[in-house]
Structure 1
Amino acid sequence: MCPAIICTRPVQLSYYFIIFHLQISDDSPGYNEAIVLLFFLQISDDSPGYSKEMFCIPRHYEEDLKRVLIPAGFISDRIERLARDIVRDFEQEGIVALCVLKGGYKFFTDLVEKIQQLNSNLGKSVPLAVDFIRLKSYVDDTSSGEIEVVGGDNLENLKGKNVLVVEDIIDTGRTMQKLLGILNNIHPKSIKVVSLLVKRTKRSIGYRPDYTGFEIPDIFIVGYALDYNEYFRDLNHLCEINETGMKKYASKS
C-alpha cells in the first residue's frame, strides 16, 4: 500500500570519521607513518527508524517487517557520495569493480552507474571494468564464519590490477577477511573494499572497509537485495525483519 502521508520523522544519524595510524617499515621509501580516514554515517541503537506504513511496501511482506531503517532515497544519495570518493581516489587509474553476489548486486549496479555518471559529468577519467564472485556464509540470521566460493573462476585476471570489492554488508568481518586472503594470493596491484553497511556487533573482529555507507545496529536487515533465506530481495528499502518474518521464511533444512 502507498499512503498519501509522508513520514517526516528523521532517522537518528551521526557523521563519523575514524583515524587509523598505519606503521610502515623503516626501509619504506615514503613516510614512516600514514593516516587513513574512514568516513561513515552511524545509525544509533535507539534510532526509531520509520514506520513501514509511511512507505510503499509489497503486500506479501507487510506483516513480516518491524520498521524501515533506511529509505531508498537516502540509500541513493549516500551511494552517490561513495562514488565521488572512489572517483577522487582512483582518478586516472583503472579499477576492476568486483561484485560480491547475490546481496551486493543492487548496490554494485547503482554504484557503478554513479561512477559512470561522474566520469561523464565531472570530466573525470576512471577506466572501469567489472567482475563477479559469489560467496555463501549465511544460514538463517547467523553468519557461519565459513565461506564457500561459488564463482570467480577468472580471478587470475585480477593480477596486477586495482581491485574494488563491492559488498552489501560487513557483519563479523570474517567473510571479508577470508575473501581478501584469497584475492591477495592473486597479487593484484591494490585492493580496496566498499560496503554499503557495516554492522555494529560485539562479534566483529574489528575489520573496517575502505569506504562505508552506513554503520547500523546489530539487527538483521533485509531489502535492497539483502535477503533472509532468499526472500526480501525485491524490497526497495532497508528494513528490520520481525519474528513473524523470521519464522515464516526460516530455512527448512
Structure 2
Amino acid sequence: MDEVDILFDREAVTRKVKELGQIINADYQGRDLLVVGILKGAFIFMADLVREIDLPLQLDFMDVSSYGDSTVSSGEVRIIKDLEYSIKDKDVLIVEDIVDTGLTLKYIKEILHRRGPGSIRICCLLDKPSRRKADIFPEYVGYSIPDRFVVGYGLDYAEQYRHYPAVCELKPSVYQK
C-alpha cells in the first residue's frame, strides 16, 4: 500500500456507517424505503449501510459513468444499468460513494424525480464540497473531505483499489504518469 495514505481507517469508517444508519432509521421510521446504490463505487458502503438500517427496505442499483479511467469527471453521464423497480410514490435513498462536482448525481436525481417518487434523498460516504459544480447537497454525509483523489472502500482509480478496507488518498505519482 505504498501508493496510498490512509485518511479513514476501517474502524473509523465502520463507526461512521453505524452513525448514518441510526440517523436514517430515525428519519424513515414507519416508512418503506427503496435504497438505490450507484455502482460500482457505492456497493461496499451500501452493503454495510443497509445492515445498519432496521426498517423494511428494498434494494436496487444504477450504474452510471462519467469518469472512465480518468481522475476528472467528463461531465457526460451514461446510464449503463437502470433501476429494475418502479419508484412511483416510494421514498428513495440514493447511496453514493462520493459527491464531487455533483453533476452526475444531479443528472440521476433529475431522471428519478421525473418518475414520481414520494421523496428522494442522498446519502454519501464522502463529500467534496469545494469541487461542487451543481446544486446538490446530500442529506446524509459521512465525511466532508478536501480536494484529494481517494480510493478504497469501493472507490477506485482505473478499477483498482476498491477492495482496500479504508478510505485512502492515492498518491499523485500513481495517476500523474
Tell me by how many angstroms 1:138 deviates: 1.2
Unaligned 5+ runs, structure 2: none
Aligned to 1:109: 47
Q: Does the CA contact (< 8 Å) of 2:97 and 2:124 recur in 1?
A: yes
Q: RMSD of the TM alignment (CA)? A: 1.4
- SS of the aligned residue for 2:137 comes to coil
Residue 247 of structure 1: how far off its partner (Å)? 4.7
Q: Is residue 196–residue 213 contact of structure 1 (8 Å, CA) maintained in 2?
A: yes
User: What's the counterpart of residue 100 of structure 1?
Assistant: 38
Q: Name the counterpart of 2:56.
A: 127
The count of residues paired between Structure 1 and Structure 2 equals 176
Cα deviation for residue 63 of structure 1 reads 2.9
Matches within 5 A, 1:1-253: 62-65=1-4, 67-115=5-53, 119=54, 126-139=55-68, 140-155=70-85, 157-247=86-176
Q: Is the 8 A contact 2:106 2:134 kept in 1?
A: no
Deviation track 1:175-212 (CA, whole Å, cap 9, x = no partner) reads 11110000011001111110110013244334210110
Moved over 4 A (4+): none
Q: Which runs of 5+ in 1 are unaligned?
A: 1-61, 120-125, 249-253
The percentage of aligned residue pairs carrying the same residue is 35
- Listed one character per residue, the Cα deviations across residues 198-247 of structure 1 (whole Å, up to 9, x for unaligned) are 01324433421011000001010000110001000111111111133215
Secondary structure at 2:163 match in 1:
coil
Contact 2:106–2:135 (Cα < 8 Å) also in 1: no
SS at match of 1:165: strand
